[in-house]
Structure 1
Amino acid sequence: MKGTVLIVEDQPNFREGLKFMISQSRNWTVIGEADTGEEGWQKALELRPDLILMDIHMPVMNGIELAERIHSHGMDTLFIIITGYQDFQYAQSAIRYGAMDFLLKPCSDDDISGILGSASKKLQAKRKEQQTTREHLLRSILLKYQMNQELTSHFLRMFEGSRLWLVTITDYFPEGKNYGSDDLYVLQYGIYNIVQELALSEDADAKLLILKEDQFVLSVSSELATACWRENAELAVREYLGIEIENIPLGPSSDVNQLMSAYAAYNEQRVQPALAPQSVHRTGRHQAIEAVKNKIMALIISGDFQALHDYFEKVGRHACSLQLTDGKILAINHSLALGQISEVLGLFSHQRKPAEALLQTIDQLPGSKELQSWFKEACQDFETRLDRWKQQANPYVNSIQQAIDYIEEHYLDSDLSIKQVAENIHLNPSYLSTLFKKETGETFTGYVTKLKLQKAQVLLRNTEMKISEICQTVGFEDSTYFSSVFKKHFQISPSEFRQNH
């Protein structure tokens, strides 16, 4: 799916040149243009582009004023500053308001192509992050794994103006098809692409999200031609894969209670699908795995993650106290249960270790101590991924991301300190300092310095500002110190960096 571009440029010839260059790109399409900052602002509100190319000097409202307005309204839009001026008196403001890069007039086709390539990479990373966040929010609410007012508010913002459809695979393994459990990922991928393509043909803002391995949620910004879309999707999946799907409307995203009720009502009357070929009846082991899964899910839903940790510790000790064979059976049941829970919550990628490899690994453990150690490591890995899931589902609990956002806003402040950041996000400064180093791998001071140097790279690469001016623009007071830190960090001096780029 191509990214959308709004061009805000008061020189008609240059604007037309940009439009032509972008039309040659495989990754971008122009959806609007404006010749003043004020008109650009109105178009930005109306069109919500992924990227804005804006000139600094324009009538009515200049590019910096437009950037400030975009920034103050919290619009999640990439923007690039276009300028033909050599003094770059506005560079500091442009950087502060989040300019991704600068495009210096006159510019070559390679300059434009290169900057669009960089923007495309940033957009893809942003879309992937948004997709993950939306999926976590859906699972939290529809599957009732985590619910609170802040999370619900975030859901309403992320899905604002959308209507949701539930897409369910009734059976991955129909009669007459030789599909096996190893084909699940390929089948899911095929169904995903068919449904997404059909939805996009009717709604450019359609987004298909994975809820569970046999259910998707389609988010659309308008009413789909219900009968036509539903029939086309079901027919296409049936013809290409021989699999039956069901599509039902859940309702508008603004009514969370209705979404939950509609989802619950559908699942109550639904015949449970077969997620793997069943050649034998459920055995005692299957029942044991189901019991373990229910126990762990109950602890996750309750939000008592200390109790979950204690449960894993208790199971590990118990496995160690049993005869080795019995201990391995206990560990296998829990490992398989964790794998099933991970699939439901989306904690792992699809490139997970097959059950056969898991069984072989556990079988080769020589003693109880090795078994306990292996099980402890597996549970710690699950807890780490679960914690990341909680943070992505509810960004308000992600203290480090809040700290990083604050630093991005205030890194040019001469009095910025870990204490100031901690007070803003309501944490103890000492605790934040330790947590920041653990999560980012950088000290607070080191992170701020690195951020300033990255901003300096943008100016060195795209402007003709003096190094002393760049030094002051990104927050260094002494140019000699700036050059020394730059060279220590990148193993090259600022002057050499500019020559090479």
Structure 2
Amino acid sequence: MTTLLIADRDANERTGISWLVSTCAIPYDQVITAGTVDELLRAIEAERPDVICLELDMIPKKSWERVKLLASLYRPTVIVTTAEATFERALQGIELHAADLWLKPQSPEHIRRTLTRCCQSRQVMGTDRVEQADPYGSTLTYRSLFLPQETPGKGFQLMLLQLEETNKHSKLLGFLETYPFRDKPVLLPLSDTIVCLFAVEKEAAWTSVLETGKRLLSDWEEQHTESLSLVLFHSADQALSLHQKYRYAVEALDIRFFKGYRQISIVENKVNWAIFDPFLTPAEQRAWIDMLHDGDREQLKQWMYREFLHKTEPYPEPGLLRIRLTSILAQVRRFMKSHGLDEGVLEEKYHRVFETILYTPVLYRIVQELLLFIYELLDSATVHREESRRDLIEQAIRYLEENYARADLRLEEVARHVDRSPAYFSSLLTKRQGVSFRQLLTTIRLREAERLLLESRLSVQEIAERTGFVNANYFSKIFKEKSGTTPRSFRNQKKREKS
């Protein structure tokens, strides 16, 4: 009988997964639930479930060691769930030898596939055997991978395969099951990888396994479009258990972060990542702010390429590089806010880039997506600046049209109204309108004076006062300079033309 335990503080989550198991006919004989850590501990000891779907966030620090102890004693298949996409949660999952980690919310289809796979794996493990024996007569099981001293590593070569789209591993498994290996390995499929164990008696067999890996990768790519990453573990350390070899190979999967897929990574021991301070220094922050405001695309690209691409061993720890990329994204965020770009489509793209940095498995893709987003921001900032400048001049003109009658209206007042310095506003106005502030104001006043001369019986003195001129004489002088005639003559001439 296969038992599933769903441990989650959220009653809706427990109910939803239970309903999914029943409606999708996932072959569990019994489903039990726990809403607290105490209920979880009692259920593990009393029911000894085969599979546990466990919310990590529900376990306080004081109970963590107890949970790990029970998991090691009863050896259930564990699926961990969390709302926190942090490395700490991932490490907890590793400590429990989790078959999968779900970030909430998770799609029902992914939940269904994982629960089905785990159930089937437990049914296979129930026999506690697989078909192929090692050279020393013992048997290989999933326990060999997950229990530290279950199986000695001597006499085994380990190959680890992972597709970029891990939900298509059933296709990869089918490919391996029918592949013409010279010496057929034991296949141990997991939720996100497939382990191939080659039983060999001589160290010289390593060359054969390496050639098999190269040929397998080539044949897969000829027949399929899905990207495949392959890790071969080869070590002269005969004391390593299969569990240790598997753990080191899993760590080495992260080398694809630098090399990409469609590659074979050969590891001989635990990967030693280079450790560094991932956060931008104050000088680097200023440099980024300057590059963004200058819109220097080539300088931005060269900075990113120099900082992140063409890495060699020892590789930097991938998690720290992701933190460094988010530190850069924080400067991009400041640029967005300062230019009013933190809304609409660009805001949505910003969040997608953030997710790309967190989850995309290959570094050069992250760099490319971040650069393309930055280029789009620079284009949008240019358009936004032009629109802002147009809006600024339009605001100034409207202010002049509303206040032209005031003889004391000055450039400084209008510049203050549009929140710019007098010098900047004067320069921008001349550039956009082709006239100075004084010329524009005079034009607006004379236009209104012409209207009053034609449509009213006001005297020239009254019109001068209403249009912001100091006195009638100055008004008449300026009017004649612009129109070639005096205000009185202009009025009389227009009246004669009408009659």
TM-score between the two structures when normalised by the length of structure 2: 0.32
User: Which of 1 and 2 has greater Rg?
Assistant: 2
TM-score between the two structures when normalised by the length of structure 1: 0.32
Which is bigger in relative contact order (C-alpha 8 A, separation at least 6)? 1
